[in-house]
Structure 1
């Protein structure tokens, strides 16, 4: 497995070894050595990444635990990769539709005059982390923003490029974030390190 999968699923994966109870992941097609684990975690929006994403979704459609995997990804709010045949965008849209149908006032979108106001009202500093205490979306002017977008724009001097993801395994943390620029810089550093070590 790749380090990406460990990063995403680390806190949820059943421990390996003797005596471990079997669970749905043991029957997942993506666990087979016939597939490259990176296929489920495309790195960008180029043609090769999109082809990987489509191949992963197609493989999921034949997986015996697709529905269980999908439900788990939605319940644990997986932000990266293809799970149960759904991309991160698919899962975001499902959650958004569910919120718009909900009548629960706690789930309704809160409105703020500015991003800084939303960040100040809906975050709480806890040690090294800043935890989001609000819902899954806020409205600032006509824009609807995710907690990660609010936190990025409130604390950084540049507009994010692409989707904003969390770098932190602490649930609800909006301090440790990355965007496409950060991800590309990391990938370039990783490639350079690999090339130097291979030389």
Structure 2
């Protein structure tokens, strides 16, 4: 069985996870979407997929696109620092 078939968001209106804007009602929408992710048995697989895919819109693995971008940047910096320490 594919991880998506076990996702908590199956059967939930997909519009909940694809945001329009970044303030006001959208902040409430983000919280609602993340609450669904918080109950999901495959949240890690979902986040890993989104991170591998790169720029993916919407809430995936309990994170926004901006949060995933920040995670990638932190990972890139840590990798650079590790190379610098070794060198």
Shorter-chain TM-score above 0.5: yes
- The CA deviation string for residues 58-78 of structure 1, in whole angstroms up to 9 with x for no partner, is 110110000000001001114
Q: How many residues align?
A: 82
Which of 1 and 2 has greater Rg?
Answer: 1
My pick for the range that moved more, 55-64 or 41-50, is 41-50
Question: How far apart are residue 46 of structure 1 and its match?
Answer: 3.3
Normalising to structure 2: TM-score of the pair?
Answer: 0.85
What RMSD, in angstroms, separates the aligned Cα atoms of the two structures?
1.6
Q: Which residue of 2 aligns with 1:31?
A: 10
C-alpha distance in structure 1 between counterparts of 2:42 and 2:36, whole Å: 11
Question: How far apart are residue 30 of structure 1 and its match?
Answer: 1.1
Query: Between Structure 1 and Structure 2, which shows a larger proportion of strand residues?
Result: 1
SS of the residue corresponding to residue 45 of structure 1 reads: coil
Q: 1:78 to 1:25 in 2, by over 3 A?
A: farther
C-alpha distance in structure 2 between counterparts of 1:101 and 1:46, whole Å: 31
Q: Which residue of 2 aligns with 1:58?
A: 35
Normalising to structure 1: TM-score of the pair?
Answer: 0.39
**Which segments of 5 or more consecutive residues in structure 1 lack a partner in the other structure?**
1-21, 106-199
C-alpha distance in structure 2 between counterparts of 1:54 and 1:41, whole Å: 12
Matched, 1:44 2:21: yes
- The CA deviation string for residues 9-53 of structure 1, in whole angstroms up to 9 with x for no partner, is xxxxxxxxxxxxx30000111112xx2210101111232211111
Q: Does the Cα contact within 8 Å between 1:27 and 1:64 map onto a contact in 2?
A: yes
**Which segments of 5 or more consecutive residues in structure 2 lack a partner in the other structure?**
none
Query: Between Structure 1 and Structure 2, which shows a larger proportion of helix residues?
Result: 2
Q: How does 1:85-124 map to 2 (within 5 A)?
A: 85-103=62-80
C-alpha distance in structure 1 between counterparts of 2:39 and 2:10, whole Å: 13
